[in-house]
Structure 1
Amino acid sequence: MLRTKHNLTDDFDLMQDRVSMLKQNDQEFQRLSRVYAELDHKVRGLEMRDVPTSDEHFVGLKTQRVRIKDVLYQRLKEWDEIGR
C-alpha cells in the first residue's frame, strides 16, 4: 500500500494561495476540504495499521476521496478563471 498523505496544499502545491484563500472565504470549499481530510485520514489509517477491511470498502473510500478532490480542483480552477 502507498501510505502517502494526500493533503491539499501538497497535492495542489502550485495553488497554495488559492487553497488557503478558499478555505478562509468559501464555506463549501471549507466543508469539502474537511471531508477530504477525514477520508484521507481514514485511508491512511487503514494503510498504516494494516487494518483488515474489504477491498470494496477500501476502494470505496479512495474513490470518494478522489471525487471530492476533483470537485475541489474544479472550484480552484473556477476561482482562477473568474480572477477572484
Structure 2
Amino acid sequence: MSHTPHELADEFPDKADRIHDLKMKDGNFRKLTEDYHEVNRAIHRAETNVEPCSEEHEAQLRRQRLFLKDQIAAKLG
C-alpha cells in the first residue's frame, strides 16, 4: 500500500489531538474531514493512474481539496 500524500495528519501534525476531538464532538467538522479524505484519495488515485481522469477534473479536485483544507484550518483556529 502506498502512502497517500496530503493526509490531515501530515498537513496539521501539531493539531492531531484537536482534529480527533473535533471529529468526535462536531458533526460538521467530521463531515469536512470525511469530504477532504474522499477528495484527497481521488486525487491520489488520479495521480497514480489507478483512476485516470482529465486534467480539468483533477484541477477541480485540487481546488476542492484546498477549499476543504481552508475550512478545516479555520475550525482548528
**TM value normalised by structure 1:** 0.81
Looking at structure 2, the residues matched to 52 and 24 of structure 1 have their Cα atoms a distance apart, in angstroms, of: 34
User: Is 1:74 equivalent to 2:68 in the alignment?
Assistant: no
5+ long unaligned stretches in structure 2: none
Tell me the number of residue pairs that the alignment of Structure 1 and Structure 2 aligns. Answer: 75
Name the residue aligned to 2:16.
Answer: 16
5+ long unaligned stretches in structure 1: 78-84
RMSD: 1.6
User: Is 1:26 equivalent to 2:5 in the alignment?
Assistant: no
**TM value normalised by structure 2:** 0.88
Name the residue aligned to 1:61.
Answer: 61
Q: Percent identity?
A: 33
Superposition misfits of 4+ residues, deviation over 3 angstroms:
none
Looking at structure 1, the residues matched to 38 and 29 of structure 2 have their Cα atoms a distance apart, in angstroms, of: 14
Shift of residue 53 of structure 1? 2.3
